[in-house]
Amino acid sequence: MRIIPFLFSTIITIVLVVSLNKKWGSIPPLGRFLSPQEGFWQNAEPVDYDYNENLSFAGLKDNADVYIDDRLVPHIFAQNDEDAYFIQGYIHAKFRLWQMEFQTMAAAGRISEILGSDPRFLRHDREQRRLGMVYGAENAVKEIEKDPLSKAAVNAYTAGVNSYIGSLTHSELPVEYKLLSYKPEKWSNLKVALFLKLMSKDLSGFERDLEFTNAKSVFDTDELNIIFPAYSDSSVPIIPRGTSFDTPGIIPIQPITADSLYFKKDATIRAVEVNKPDRTNGSNSWALRGTKTKSGAPILCNDPHLGLSLPSIWFEMQISTPDMNVYGASFPGSPSVIIGFNDNVAFGFTNAMRDVKDYYQVKFRDDSKKEYWYNGQWKPAAQVLEVIKIRDANDYYDTVAYTSFGPVMYDQSFVSDSTNNTAIAVRWIAHEPSNEILMWLKLGKAKNYGDCEEAIKTFICPGQNMLFASKDGDIGIWQQGKFPARWKGQGLYLMPGEDSSYKWQGYIPQPENPHVVNPAEGFIQSANQQPVDSSYPYFIPGNYIVSRGVTINQRLSALQQATPQDMMTLQNDYFNSLAEDMVPFMMRYVDQTKLNATEKKYLNEVKSWNFFATPDSRATTIYQAWMDSLKILVWEDQFSKILLPTLSGGVRPDEQTLVEALLKDSSFKYVDNVNTPQVETIDHQITQALKLASISLAKEEKENGLVWWKHKKPAIYHLLRTSVMPFAYTDIPVGGWHNTINAMKSTHGPSWRMIVHLTSITEAYGVYPGGQSGNPGSPYYQNFVDTWAKGKYYTLWMMKQDEAGDKRVKGKISFSNI
């Protein structure tokens, strides 16, 4: 009878072995995941982890050393540049491998391979492929590999990443691989290019062409120019007003059919709208000449605003060879330092916000999408079969047609709102051959402003405001990128694609890109505003932001004898200049006789507000709720008439636009609600907006006391977002808003703060909201967040190799060739 319990226990054992080593939906194989020898326990990193190693690789030319300091910042000392980039690739992979690979797979439209058959993942993958992300990356690789310097650097970097991947055992895999039950694949130069295209999409992927096209069903172009103005009267341009510009090298010609086919009001239009990155992806940067500083040396400051995530987008490091010594924030996934400084210069970037992506309506002959009508004939369309692998499901096949404009992003197979045989093709600068890597390789070696000016010439996309300062005393800024030369209005709406007359006719010559060196004001500032005033000879539509630039300009104009500590205070400034303009107007027109006690209480708090969006401010919460309600009362009666596609959320004018319009004219035509028989005046709408806001504010007050940081819920999520909450950092007590210098929203804000004082021995400070390690089980995963939230900084240590005995050194990794 003993055979029965034996058989029973054997069956149970087999079932457990099979079940614990099989992935069940989103649950990883629990046997391996929970294994003490191989599972997630191995990712728990002790505080006293030993970072000392001796490594040998055949790919190295010479010996090299990497010193890991007490903040887990690596300081690479190599005998040649190629070894330095090999080691950078190895170090990036050692601390951030899963992040690097996941981001490049997301860029390539491959997350369904990892995450499974959720329709959202499939849509993302299809959209990335239809946008031409891989197409653009492939073109970039060809360009990178044409140049000996960039080819050598990227080849070495890729070899370093693969050397680390080749050394991994299952127990050493980052925890995300174990959670999702897959393994890293081999790195490639294409993955480097894909990461840069991901940055291009984040920073140049926002435009409103299709939304404006839909708006033409309700508004004519004159009205659209009022509610979506190309220029703001309040803006302080990057290049000082009054700067003279050269005669344009190219003058594009408007098609003769523009008035009848393009600009006319059209009630039949219903174009699909594109998923796109955060509109406020931008940054602050400024530089002061020695005439404005206490030391007499220039100071450069930069804080790029991006979606915040864990692991962080940035990885701090130093790279030192006989030809360069550069320190700063690098991108895991790409060689060199992106924002930083060397022994002679400092460099920073803000987003240009220029529109470099346009859409064209094309007509196919039939559902096969093999031919489209172009210049009076049916022209063959190149077709690319995209095979999207889906985890635990059948492959998905998607055919993308390529036209003379670019890939067809939207057609009937992707969006049901498309009409028969009509599709939307996308033209994007990021599709063109480019070598952005080369610029950063050269900047790391720059000795003066002239070297920086030369280095940037190969940079195409995303357009950036490139800020420089040198120990020679120079400061300068260029808005650099490859920008189409447009006739006025080109690219604001979906353009006809049946002939070549609406194609880009050329590009603004690089020397004519907006720039200034050593201005009389003694400083330069850039905060994603318009780069120039209206005297610039080109039409340059974009997604410009006004408020931060106004505040920065005011602060720097008044500042004398500036120090790095003054710059820290300025980077953390919470002042809302837009509210400073708007609140007195609201107070003038609100009818207090129609307010109840609660509404008067809220009114009085805003009345006594100092316009700083500090973390504990209640007035900020009240003001923003009031303002949001006013925007609805002013705009919704008209905008609700727009017949929107299924996937669309529509578009609304900026808060800045409404404020400026009301300050100019309190009888602004859109104040009235056209759906009611009476005429609403501004005092009625201001009062009604407060009453509406007070209803929601009273409810919220019981939950969080209307404290600003609790209202906006600042958080930094893991790259997998809310699906891995234990890896996130939530409830961060920080203030700010998108229109304050410290532009922290809910999950978007200053991703790296840097201040470089270019004294004889460089004095530099920096911090980012994350940590150097990508391992959630490491004490270095999010250890910078509290420092960043408090507005504090770390001293950036440009180490010398003879300082190896310094107490800040935590470990040493020695690299040698076999």
For the segment 247-257, the average pLDDT, to the nearest whole number, is: 96
Tokens for 585, please give them: 């107007």
Confidence of residue 723 (pLDDT cuts 50, 70, 90): very low
Q: Whose structure tokens read 């300025």?
A: 570
End-to-end CA distance of the chain: 64
For the segment 227-244, the average pLDDT, to the nearest whole number, is: 90
Residue-wise pLDDT for 178-235, tens only, equals 999 999 999 999 999 999 999 999 888 778 888 898 888 899 999 999 999 988 888 9
Average pLDDT of every residue of the chain: 92
* pLDDT reported for residue 21: 53
* pLDDT reported for residue 341: 98
pLDDT of residue 157 exceeding 90, the answer is: yes
* pLDDT reported for residue 536: 96
pLDDT of residue 645 exceeding 90, the answer is: no
* pLDDT reported for residue 406: 97
* pLDDT reported for residue 38: 44
Confidence of residue 798 (pLDDT cuts 50, 70, 90): very high
* pLDDT reported for residue 793: 98
Tell me, what amino acid is at 269?
Answer: I
**Residues of the chain with pLDDT > 70: what percent?**
91
* pLDDT reported for residue 16: 42
Distance from C-alpha of 350 to C-alpha of 368, rounded to nearest angstrom: 43
Question: What are the φ and ψ backbone dihedral angles of 538, each rounded to 5 degrees?
Answer: -120, 150
Is-contact 133 103, C-beta < 8 A? no
Element housing 192 (H / E): helix 189-204
Nearest 10 degrees: Cα torsion 204, 205, 211, 216: 40
* pLDDT reported for residue 270: 66
Residue-wise pLDDT for 413-433, tens only, equals 887 554 555 799 999 999 999
Give 171: exposed, middle or buried? Use CB within 10 Å, 0-12, 13-18, 19+. middle
Residue-wise pLDDT for 420-478, tens only, equals 557 999 999 999 999 999 999 999 999 999 999 999 999 999 999 999 999 999 999 99
Distance from C-alpha of 478 to C-alpha of 352, rounded to nearest angstrom: 10
Confidence of residue 7 (pLDDT cuts 50, 70, 90): very low
Question: Helix axis angle, 189-204 relative to 81-107, nearest 10°?
Answer: 60
Least confident of 33-42, 359-368, 502-511: 33-42
**322 forms bridges with which residues in the sheet?**
none
* pLDDT reported for residue 6: 42
**Residues ≥6 apart with Cβ < 8 Å to 726:** 776
* pLDDT reported for residue 27: 54
DSSP 261: I
* pLDDT reported for residue 14: 47
All domains in the chain, ordered by first residue: 582-712 (1.10.1400.10)
Q: CA of 420: how far to CAs of 204, 363, 367, 410, 412, in Å?
A: 30, 9, 8, 12, 7
pLDDT of residue 20 exceeding 50, the answer is: no
Distance from C-alpha of 530 to C-alpha of 549, rounded to nearest angstrom: 9
Residue-wise pLDDT for 565-605, tens only, equals 999 999 999 999 999 999 999 999 999 999 999 999 999 99
Distance from C-alpha of 150 to C-alpha of 143, rounded to nearest angstrom: 9
Residue-wise pLDDT for 323-332, tens only, equals 999 999 999 9
Residue-wise pLDDT for 497-556, tens only, equals 999 999 999 999 999 999 999 999 999 999 999 999 999 999 999 989 999 999 999 999
* pLDDT reported for residue 10: 46
Least confident of 32-41, 348-357, 760-769: 32-41
Pick from 542, 562, 510: nearest CA to 237: 542
Residue-wise pLDDT for 739-797, tens only, equals 999 999 999 999 999 999 999 999 999 999 999 999 999 999 999 999 999 999 999 99
**Structure-model confidence comparison of residues 6 and 498, the more confident one:** 498
pLDDT of residue 42 exceeding 60, the answer is: no
**Structure-model confidence comparison of residues 335 and 3, the more confident one:** 335
